[in-house]
Structures are given as structure tokens and as C-alpha cells.
Amino acid sequence: MPSCISTEALLVYALSLLPTIEGRYALVFGIRMGLTTGCAIAIAILGVLTLSIVLPAILPLAHRIAERLARQGPLSRIARKYLEYSERARHRASRYTDKYGLLGLVIFVAIPLPATGIWTGAIAAFLLGMSPEKIRAGLLVGGVISVVILALTSLGLSL
């Protein structure tokens, strides 16, 4: 059985940073690769923590770059796709955040459904004008909840 300090653990951490996979699905990969449940959960939450800190810091710059690239150049199509996705994310998340604020962001990130999660929540919260501190808190709490939900429901774990 691989330990929490292994190639498998590093791969699970890398997966936890990817859009659509994030911590909640990296957890499943980790267990399937032979990591203990506790180790897989810890690594998944480490990925949630990393994204919660990094995304609010880099999104303003990434968004400005995408806006510039969308106007011209070989990457304009990719940049426009990102901006279209960002607008859809903002619209989806606003249903939660307009009514519930920070708690709405937590709920949006925690729901284990397609087109929700840390990446989408971070982009939406940024576009909705939430402060970086609120975004970090919402991503962290919602991301941890999503890992716990997946651990409890999909893996049949109990508290």
C-alpha cells in the first residue's frame, strides 16, 4: 500500500488541482490507487487548500490576459471560450450568491454536480465582485464539504 509520501500521493495531489477533478474526485483516484482513505482525504483537502489560496490571487491577471487575447492572436479562440465559460459560471453561481452571499458560494462549490466546484466557483465569485478573502473562505469551506460529501456517499464511509 503506498504511503502518503509516494508517487501515487503526488499524482492524487496533482489531480486535485485540475478543473473538473478537484479534490472530490482526486479522493476516489487515490483510494483506487491504494492510498488509505485517510491519506486520500488529506491529500484531497490539501488540493482544496492550495486552490483556495491560489485561484483568488491569479484570477484577476488571468482574466485580463484572456480579455486581451480574445481580441487578437492565435489564442483568441481559446480566450473567447474561457470568457464564455466564465460568464456562464457567473450566471449559475449568482443564483446562489445573490440570495445567500458567502454561504451561497459555499453551497455552489460543495454541490458535487457538473459545472460546480472550486474552479467554477472561483471564477464566478471573482466576476461577481466578491473580495479575495470571501472567495478564499467560500472555496475552502465548500471544497472541504465536497470532499466529505463524496467520501460519505460514494465511498460508503461513516463518521
Q: Is the pLDDT of residue 159 over 50?
A: no
- pLDDT for the residue numbered 112: 83
Return the percentage of the chain with pLDDT > 90, whole number.
83
The set of cell numbers assigned to 155 is 465511498
* Residue 145 pLDDT > 60: yes
What is the per-residue pLDDT for 73?
80
User: What pLDDT score does 155 carry?
Assistant: 66
Q: Which of 10-14, 49-53, 110-114, 136-140 has the lowest mean pLDDT?
A: 110-114
Mean pLDDT of 1-11: 88
Predicted TM-score (pTM) of the model is 0.91
